[in-house]
Structure 1
């Protein structure tokens, strides 16, 4: 009986991505090669606790496919940037396969973009990162904010009764034909004291006074303050009037823009609605960014931003849970060490939310909700806050370089 010759063993060739010309898909080999230096850190970034390693590898294969298609559309390989216009075309094609496919793909690319940003590997500018991040967030359906369409009449009816509208009107009425300020639009001295009085804040201004360590949103009557920054409520509203171009500087005064101040005082019309929404937007962003800039307060601002975002969603948080410090029974043993920190943080989160409530920017009852007429304002404000954080992160990276 003839013996069969043993089959020749094929030489090991390794992963196709490591062999020149191994892949028939244009740019695939180049993309894999470009990602190779990030292989370990990418795996850690995409791997979630309790997730099987095979699932993480599958996600990374999905990312590789998306980046390969991106390179094909760009006609070049650059894994350190993403082109928003190309992404639009790419995700547009995927939408034809179903919204879920497009959103899942956008989420993977957004997660990858976050990796590039947090590891200082992003190859574009801060504006490039911001534009791409915002686009992918929208495509991934990340924002929980629900802003239903409102007719101008309905929106104005809601806005008309809000405390922040009343306060802004009081302040613009006080300005009258103009009030003296610095060229930067800052109120000082007796004028500052009068402006505070227009908002019902009876403080004493002494520019030589010591800067308070912690300024209350509404300082108690008789409090001595050195500057506008030490009267947070007035500072926020003054910033809102300047930020909406309702005030402009004409030496030596800040003077009102008549058409905009008239719109603020009006109770109907598209202009009246727009001006009030813009003021709300500046108030949201001013309060959050000012909190972010205070030493040790970044976590407070981030938590409040998260609560506000959910408060404008279709499933607003219940107050008793959102503002409750968890007990040991609520957390696994390995997280018990977090309770001490939360006992300090949660009251500060509530305090800041009460500031928003004071101005009518949020409602705190059984649930925490954002008025429907202000949800678009909040969404734009949160984008500004994100931009601020990104710019700060980029500056920190540049200073460390």
Structure 2
């Protein structure tokens, strides 16, 4: 098996793109006029004209991901530039011909809009977009962000005065001499509450006791949360996005060092806390830039609304650094026009929520216009350096290549291994998933559609047994030496794994009595036997997964496998056990709180499972 690396949940990568559908319809409507214009002005056949429009559809779809618009004859410069960069970024860097073809095809389409009087936007917007295709060699096709002239003292004071800097300082002080981390470098559940409080978030790890949650809600706790503020319970640090963002920015800015078991402050962080001259500006500038970059382009984001919102947020932030910052009313109107439901409605909510959060942190001022404070503009420029750059592209001065050898590309082409839609002929599998060697027994009975992938099944099992997905995992069929399946983006050092997202349950376990083993955490070795109890008739209206029974609470992460967990259960349940108090504290149990290792809430699990797909 391999070292775990970041990867997006594959089950959702293949979601149908609403933006791609908009682009398809919009370009199809104008295709006849474009075909006639190309034939008249460039003597190209209709087939060539049709292929030229494929990259146009790709860019239009990427543009619509940042905007609720559906007009392919009018674009705004900044989101258009981002969309073109996004599409070009999907091309293999070594395939200059395809990149050149996309570049020239989009440019030709814009030429058509202008010469055929089909452009419906403003002349100013068209000139700005057209300039993207006529930049000097030393420019990257994206408007430069010009930072105001500030002295070091002014910039330092401006950055240090932000709420972001205050929360950064509180989080570094909380880390202090160091904290325990999991094998994936995340904070342990017991420490999530303190870290979250340092950055103004009310959250706690899932193992915290009910009494502890009541204390925080009533304001009787000294953990730093505000009285009466709702406290969110999470199963892992990554489930609290704001804390995960701060943590990633700390690492990116080299303010913390995360080891195999402990996280410690770096020398730079120590100097920042000490207020040493010459270090504050560099540290604050770097952290602010990294925080912004990570907040705009989350590497783990997979769902369409998050990706769309990311582009829109980036466009707004760039515009907010200029002499003509965007009007808040215009942003709100665009968000409201997207509707209150569906993907576009979610995009609008995410964008407005993002802007409000940046304003809360002092990185934006929101009045009639949305504007970046002068001291923060330099950090925004640094954050945008990678996000907005097209990259080291070739000079696109080639003649328009013949379209025959070029593969048409659409944004959806980068999404793969998607779980197919429900098929009336796909049966339902009744599975019993049992943790081997567990005492008392721990199992779940699940009704799962047979079209789900093994990657989907991984997510289902993680939720079913309250795991945090903090360790490696894999599936094995046929016992030792049999076929193995796992995530495709990890480096294998054992038997070659097959991509778990390319195989469905119905393919691997087609008949009653078939079984396979799912192993989680190759240190603790939690082996789950997955056995088909029944193959039930297909039901196109069935939910993807539903739990119909089970027993036993999910074991705690890093508890030492089946035997280690049995020792934890014994210690917690036996007041005379020498480690009784230690383990109760480790599980977050309050005085007098009972612990039932057999407890299982089917309704609660089904609620969690309902949000997976």
**What TM-score do the two structures reach when normalised by structure 1?**
0.57
Contact 2:328 2:369 in 1 (8 A): yes
* Residues 166/41 of structure 1: CA separation in 2 closer, same or farther (3 Å cut): same
1:204 aligns to what SS in structure 2?
strand
Moved more, 277-286 or 375-384: 375-384
1:241-291 deviations in whole A, cap 9, x for unaligned? 11111111344211111233313552753x211111111122212222239
1:254 aligns to what SS in structure 2?
strand
Contact 2:190 2:207 in 1 (8 A): no
Which position in structure 2 is the counterpart of 1:396?
414
1:338-367 deviations in whole A, cap 9, x for unaligned? 667766643432112111111112111121
Cα distance in 2, alignment partners of residues 398 and 109 from structure 1: 35
1:146-176 deviations in whole A, cap 9, x for unaligned? 2123221110111121000000110111111
Q: How does 1:248-287 map to 2 (within 5 A)?
A: 248-263=257-272, 265-266=274-275, 268-269=277-278, 271-287=279-295
Which position in structure 1 is the counterpart of 2:241?
232
Which position in structure 1 is the counterpart of 2:582?
none
Cα offset for 1:192? 2.2
Cα distance in 2, alignment partners of residues 181 and 242 from structure 1: 14
Which position in structure 1 is the counterpart of 2:316?
307
1:225-252 deviations in whole A, cap 9, x for unaligned? 1111122222211111111111113442
Contact 2:193 2:205 in 1 (8 A): yes
| Structure 1: gaps (5+ residues) | 1-31, 52-77, 83-102, 111-134, 210-217, 328-335
Cα distance in 1, alignment partners of residues 349 and 73 from structure 2: 32
Contact 1:144 1:312 in 2 (8 A): no
Cα distance in 2, alignment partners of residues 274 and 394 from structure 1: 40
Cα offset for 1:298? 1.9
Cα distance in 2, alignment partners of residues 151 and 365 from structure 1: 26
Cα distance in 2, alignment partners of residues 281 and 359 from structure 1: 13
Contact 1:187 1:228 in 2 (8 A): yes
Which position in structure 2 is the counterpart of 1:107?
132
Q: Does 1:155 align with 2:173?
A: no
Q: How does 1:50-65 map to 2 (within 5 A)?
A: none
* Residues 175/399 of structure 1: CA separation in 2 closer, same or farther (3 Å cut): same
* Residues 358/317 of structure 1: CA separation in 2 closer, same or farther (3 Å cut): same
Cα distance in 2, alignment partners of residues 143 and 238 from structure 1: 31
Contact 1:160 1:267 in 2 (8 A): no
Which position in structure 2 is the counterpart of 1:371?
373
Task: Figure out how many residues of one structure are paired with residues of the other and give that number.
Answer: 278
Q: Relative to total residues, which structure has the larger helix share, 1 or 2?
A: 1
Which position in structure 2 is the counterpart of 1:205?
205
Cα distance in 2, alignment partners of residues 197 and 232 from structure 1: 14
* Residues 299/202 of structure 1: CA separation in 2 closer, same or farther (3 Å cut): closer
Which position in structure 1 is the counterpart of 2:325?
316
Q: How does 1:54-133 map to 2 (within 5 A)?
A: 79-80=97-98, 107-108=132-133
1:194-238 deviations in whole A, cap 9, x for unaligned? 2223334343311699xxxxxxxx995432111111222222111
Cα offset for 1:180? 1.0
Q: Does 1:143 align with 2:147?
A: no
Contact 2:256 2:263 in 1 (8 A): yes
* Residues 202/352 of structure 1: CA separation in 2 closer, same or farther (3 Å cut): closer
* Residues 38/164 of structure 1: CA separation in 2 closer, same or farther (3 Å cut): farther
Cα distance in 2, alignment partners of residues 222 and 50 from structure 1: 47
| Structure 2: gaps (5+ residues) | 1-41, 58-70, 75-95, 101-127, 210-224, 392-410, 419-613
Q: Relative to total residues, which structure has the larger strand share, 1 or 2?
A: 2
Contact 2:305 2:347 in 1 (8 A): no
Q: How does 1:176-191 map to 2 (within 5 A)?
A: 176-191=176-191
Cα offset for 1:373? 2.0
Which position in structure 2 is the counterpart of 1:351?
353
* Residues 385/187 of structure 1: CA separation in 2 closer, same or farther (3 Å cut): farther
1:153 aligns to what SS in structure 2?
helix
User: Given the alignment, which residue of 224, 241, 248 partners 2:250?
Assistant: 241
Q: How does 1:160-171 map to 2 (within 5 A)?
A: 160-171=160-171
Cα offset for 1:140? 5.5
Cα offset for 1:377? 2.1
* Residues 222/263 of structure 1: CA separation in 2 closer, same or farther (3 Å cut): closer
